[in-house]
Amino acid sequence: MDDCIFCKIIKGEIPSTKVYEDGRVYAFMDINPIAKGHTLIIPKTHAGNLWEIAPEDLSAVHSAAKTIAGALQKALDAEGVACLQLNGRAVGQVVMHYHLHLVPRVKGAPELPISHWDLKPGDMKEIQSVAMKIAAEIQ
């Protein structure tokens, strides 16, 4: 897409700090990192989100995530890596080109704001009712 910032990064029209590339995938450093080593992985073929991405590109992005998460572990001595992927403005997606965040937490770094929330037991009747609706939509 002509007006997509990530498509421009793939084409080299906007500079980026690349860490990995293959036939389907491009990975680069997030310029607004929430932790040291924060990396983005994107498909080279434009897709806005999880609903639009081709299964082959989705597999390629997540296979690259395994490789890059391993590199983050070795290069930064990361004790953990959070994978975060947002679909739609309602959940905070800003760039409408599918992207997977890899956010490492290195030893001694503060807790990641994205990986902790309060656990509160849900209403089991509601959980089961919602599960039935979801399962019914899966063909």
Q: Which residues are catalytic?
A: 99
User: What minimum distance in Å lies between the beta carbon of 27 and Zn ion?
Assistant: 15
Among 24, 38, 97, 101, binds Zn ion (CB under 5 A): 97
User: For tokens 């039935």, what's the residue?
Assistant: 132
- Pick from 7, 61, 68, 71: which binds Zn ion (CB under 5 A)? 7
List residues bridging with 16 in a β-sheet. none
**Nearest residue to 19 via CA among 28, 10, 32:** 28
The set of residues, in sequence order, having a beta carbon less than 8 Å from that of 77 and lying 6+ positions away, is 106, 107
Contacts within 8 Å (CB) and 24+ apart, 62-67: 62/100, 64/20, 64/22, 64/25, 64/27, 65/41, 65/100, 65/102, 67/20
The tokens describing 129, both together, are 């009712």
4 binds Zn ion (CB under 5 A): yes
Nearer to Zn ion, 96 or 102 (CB): 96
Our finding on whether 5 is near Zn ion (CB under 5 A) is no
Residue from 46, 99, 101, 105 binding Zn ion (CB under 5 A)? 46
Q: Which stretch binds Zn ion (CB under 5 A): 6-14, 28-36, 83-91, 123-131?
A: 6-14
Asked if 99 touches Zn ion (CB under 5 A), the answer is no
Binding residues (CB under 5 A) for Zn ion: these are: 1, 4, 6-7, 46, 97
